[in-house]
Amino acid sequence: MRNIKDCLVVCISSILLVSLNGCSAEDHSIKMKGSDTEVNLAVNLAEKFTEIDPSFNIAISGGGSGLGITSLLNGQADIANSSRPLSEKEIEQFKKKNMELVTIIFAEDATAFVVHKSIPLEEIDMETLGKVLDGSIKNWNEITKIDLPINIYGRQSSSGTYSFVKKKLKIEFSPAAKEMTGNAQIIEGVKADRSGIGYIGAGYVDDDSENKQGIKVLRIKKSNDDIAYSPTDLNAINEGLYVFQRPLYQFVTTKSWEKVKPFVNFEKSDQGKKMIKDHGYYIKDSLDMDI
């Protein structure tokens, strides 16, 4: 997996890459908002792109998929990064405003479930995981030999990852779950809490997570009799065997399309694809796009 820059692991409110020549700021100024799962990758892609073409200004912020989509709807963003598709309600909102969108699937992600490295648990089935996260199972002694109350570290309801996990497990999260602002905060929470469990983008998992991050990545199986797979297992991801894998989206208004197209083309280039893979994400042979 990739190394995460220390300065970027906290939810980023705004990063501005300053134009170095005289091209029009209006034509080459891009605002990108949304998914915290995608924000570090987006920053690094933008940094490399503006090295190649310094005429562009790209401002990037996180805050969750829902925030990015709302910002796009309100004209406060050119690109909405999202770890989930648009909801029916959001589709109707764009239709009411006569706003047409370009939908890009530029990468695939897997959601990792992590516990404190001292928890004597290596794998878990979907039903048990759901009971842990909805609060039905409250103590680790119900599934391990450790007697500790379970502390859940999750995301806010505006997060695409929150919606994805909730829908996949068909649960409501425990009211006692701690709502964190991003992946890095969840990692720090679980690392510091011997009874902690949380979920993060697999791209945020280090190769040696137990020693470097103080967390353990659980293997997931559909049922107790099935084979358990890890979100860091590239073969399992390529074969679609890991339960919690999903596409990552970028939504662009057609009004902004010509302006952002050079950046999107960079993402689709060999250099862009390599960066996506180097950051711990997965990519198909071709990027999907719907105009």
Tell me the fold of 6-108+247-290: D-Maltodextrin-Binding Protein; domain 2 (3.40.190)
Q: Are 152 and 189 in contact (CB under 8 A)?
A: no
- 113: confidence class by pLDDT, cuts 50, 70, 90: very high
CA distance 136 to 176: 11
What pLDDT score was predicted for residue 239?
86
Q: Which has the closest alpha carbon to 40: 7, 73, 70? A: 7
Question: In this prediction, what percent of the chain has a pLDDT beyond 90?
Answer: 72
Q: Mean of the pLDDT values across residues 57-86?
A: 95
* Residue 12 pLDDT > 50: no
Domain boundaries, the chain: 6-108+247-290, 110-238
pLDDT 10s digits, 73-88: 999 999 999 999 999 9
3-33 exposure pattern, b = at least 16 Cβ within 10 A, e = fewer: ebeeebbebbeebebebeeeeeeeebbbbbb
Q: Mean of the pLDDT values across residues 227-254?
A: 92
Give 110-238's CATH code, choosing from 3.40.50.300, 3.40.190.10, 3.40.50.80, 3.90.1820.10: 3.40.190.10
CA distance 191 to 113: 13
- 4: confidence class by pLDDT, cuts 50, 70, 90: very low
Distance, first Cα to last Cα, the chain? 32
Q: Mean of the pLDDT values across residues 175-192?
A: 95
Question: Taking the mean position of all CA atoms in its chain, how far away is CA 192?
Answer: 22
The residue with greater pLDDT, 182 or 146, is 146
Torsion angles phi and psi, residue 50, rounded to 5: -75, -15
Instruction: Please report, for residues 41, 113, 161, 258, the alpha-carbon distance to residue 35 in angstroms, rounded to integers and kept in the order given.
Output: 11, 18, 9, 23
Residues near 80 by beta carbon (within 8 Å), at least 6 away in sequence: 32, 33, 34, 65, 68, 69, 71, 72, 250, 251, 252
- 238: confidence class by pLDDT, cuts 50, 70, 90: confident
What pLDDT score was predicted for residue 22?
38
- 132: confidence class by pLDDT, cuts 50, 70, 90: very high
Residue 254: which H helix or E strand, with range?
helix 254-268
Residue 96, SS3? helix
CA distance 226 to 182: 31
Residue 280 φ/ψ region, left for φ over 0, alpha for ψ in the -120 to 50 degree band, beta for the rest: left
